[in-house]
Chain A
Amino acid sequence: MKKIAKHLPHYFGLIGILLAGALGFIVFSYDRIFQIYISVAVASAYVIWGAMHHSAHRDLYLEVVIEYVVVASLGLMIVLSLILRV
């Protein structure tokens, strides 16, 4: 919890990225192409956020970067499977 408090501005940035993505999905409800762009942008931004956050915290390792890439890919896979299904 101390870590979260220490890096609160980082988490505000993350919440901002995620809220912008969710808002984009609501505003462009019927624009599939734009929704795909939003998904890729949010997933990429998440990985970049993770790398920057861990770099600032001095615990950036390849294993950590891979974890963020995998979680982002999982999210992207789920969203794309829905976008391309509708």
Chain B
Amino acid sequence: MKFIEYAAHFLIPRNSNNHKARLLHSPILMAIIACLFVYQLTLSSVSSVFPKVLGFASSIPMEEVVRLTNEKRVEAGLGPLSFNSALASAARDKAVDMLEHNYWAHVSPNGVTPWDFFKNNGYTYRFAGENLARDFSNPSSVVDAWMASQSHKENLLSPKYEEIGVAVVEGDLAGVDTTLVVQLFAAPVAKTAQAANVETRPQPKPEALIASVQTSQRISGGPLLSPLDTTKGMSTAVLGLLLGVFAVDEIIVYRRKIFRVSGRGVAHMSFLTMILLVVLIIKSGQIL
């Protein structure tokens, strides 16, 4: 009985809560904000201490990115790109460089451009392009994200390119467990000249760095829970509860014709519905 009274005090406008559900009072809402903040801090701590329980899981086979890219090109009436190992190596070097120097950009803070990685891998190009992606969980979402961006789509569907190289590298970027996808496009100057370049300029691999990153997919033994999905679940639950309480509050106040100094419940519900919509549409992953 006491519990029902307490729940009613929190959820329904009545005398005991000054005719406004206690949950909707500003101090309680501030307490909810504080709880959500603590929840986020806890989530970050748990995911860094127990990455197998709460962490970022991705499965992005390099070959699948190439296949999906070629599928999009064929759909657009273009020829498929042929896989080039020197480009794949350049892509991998670029990803490793981003992890080593903690940056997420086409040009490194030291001024190293994507084209430097082409040269270092003995690839001489007529035309070249680079697409970057991070934190996606599967190859189709990566390619779909690139296709949704005009500049990335132009790279993907450019008739100037003939070859492709892709690297998927996992590592720690600015303290965050990240999966980087680097996609390089190019048209070589000439096959024979390129082959000669590869022979004359062999590149040493940074062995120490290779040990610190994992290439390609991490399919088996992934974490049990994703921090993003957990955050989405918690946010949806909080918003659902508040929307429900606001709706009940508005109906009761309207029916009982209660006058009170308060914000507009309809406005709050509209705002929180928009937030709920954002929670539902927000996707993981970034492209550059």
Interface residue ranges, A against B (CB under 8 Å): 1, 3-4, 11, 14-15, 18-19, 21-22, 25-26, 29-30, 32, 39, 42, 46, 49-50, 53-54, 59, 61, 63-64, 66-68, 70-75, 77-79, 81-83, 85-86
Report how far A72 CA is from B213 CA in the complex, Å.
Answer: 41
Q: Is the CB of B270 within 8 A of A15?
A: yes
Interface string of B16-46 (1 = CB under 8 A from A): 0000000000100110110011001000000
Q: Which residue of B lies closest to A2 (CB)?
A: B254
Report how far A75 CA is from B32 CA in the complex, Å.
Answer: 11
Report how far A75 CA is from B267 CA in the complex, Å.
Answer: 13
B-side interface residues, number (CB < 8 Å): 44
B246-288 residues at the A interface, CB under 8 angstroms = 254, 261-264, 266-268, 270-275, 277-279, 281-287
12 chain-A/chain-B pairs, Cβ below 8 angstroms: A21-B278, A22-B277, A46-B271, A63-B262, A66-B26, A67-B262, A71-B268, A72-B271, A75-B272, A79-B282, A82-B279, A82-B282
Interface residue ranges, B against A (CB under 8 Å): 26, 29-30, 32-33, 36-37, 40, 135, 145, 148-149, 227-228, 231-232, 235, 238-239, 242, 254, 261-264, 266-268, 270-275, 277-279, 281-287
CB distance from A69 to the nearest CB of B (A): 8
Q: A64-B261, A67-B262 are in contact. Are A30 and B274 (CB under 8 A)?
A: no
Q: Which of B40, B242, B273 has the most CB of A within 10 A?
A: B40
Q: Is the CB of B33 within 8 A of A18?
A: no
Extra A-B contacts (15), CB below 8 Å, given A39-B278, A74-B33, A81-B36? A11-B266, A18-B274, A22-B281, A26-B281, A30-B148, A49-B267, A53-B264, A61-B261, A67-B262, A70-B33, A74-B32, A75-B275, A79-B279, A81-B235, A82-B231
Q: Is the CB of B228 within 8 A of A14?
A: no
